[in-house]
Amino acid sequence: MDFEHDLRASVRTIPDYPKPGILFRDITTLLGDARAFRRAVDQLVHPWAGSKIDKVAGIEARGFILGGAVAHQVSAGFVPIRKKGKLPHTTVRIAYSLEYGIDEMEMHADAIHPKERVILVDDLIATGGTAEAAVKLLRQIGANVVAACFIIDLPDLGGAAKLRAMEVPVRTLMAFDGH
């Protein structure tokens, strides 16, 4: 399909960044291409176009750019999920594992009301550790996580399968082999 080809071609791959062996999938080239950016946002939310979404939660930092656009598109509010220590008001927090050590992410405790319908957005899902923690955080404050949307899936790393096992429908627009 042309659309898939265009969108895929708009992602730039940088070998050995941030360290040897990693193929970094750079979406700044997609964001900088007006047609690709619009199509990506339209396609990400396509399955939920007719349904009511209360909030879109975006994961820092690339999830903010996409999530803001997605929220606008579905007439929802936007909620940032941030690295710890960045949000000024009362937060809820969750720890999650990184390749080396652990990190923590936070959101404002009053950002989402119980049972609100929420779509989670980030640019890419790899092992799913980041998104899994975000889903747990959202559920901790009572959110109904309707879906998780990513432009890029790295299926060999199993992240999308991990989220589906948590009964979160996952939407991705393209997949790349390897990591």
123 sits near ligand AMP (criterion: CB under 6 A):
yes
The C-alpha atoms of residue 151 and residue 92 are separated, in whole angstroms, by 27
The C-alpha atoms of residue 23 and residue 16 are separated, in whole angstroms, by 6
State the binding string over 137-176 for ligand AMP (x if CB under 6 A, else -): ----------------------x-----------------
Burial class (CB in 10 A: 0-12, 13-18, 19+), 100: exposed
39 sits near ligand AMP (criterion: CB under 6 A):
no
67 sits near ligand AMP (criterion: CB under 6 A):
no
Catalytic residues: 62, 99
Listed in order, strand segments (DSSP E) in the chain are 12-15, 23-26, 55-59, 77-83, 91-97, 102-108, 117-125, 144-153, 170-175
Return the range that interacts with ligand AMP (CB under 6 A); candidates 112-120, 122-130, 141-149, 166-174.
122-130
Residue number, 91 or 130, with CB nearest to ligand AMP: 130
Residue 54: closest CA among 76, 79, 81, 78: 76
Residue number, 62 or 82, with CB nearest to ligand AMP: 62
Candidates 124, 151, 160, 163: give the one binding ligand AMP (CB under 6 A): 124
Q: What is the CA radius of gyration of the chain?
A: 16
Residues binding ligand AMP (CB under 6 A): 22-25, 59, 62, 122-131, 159, 179
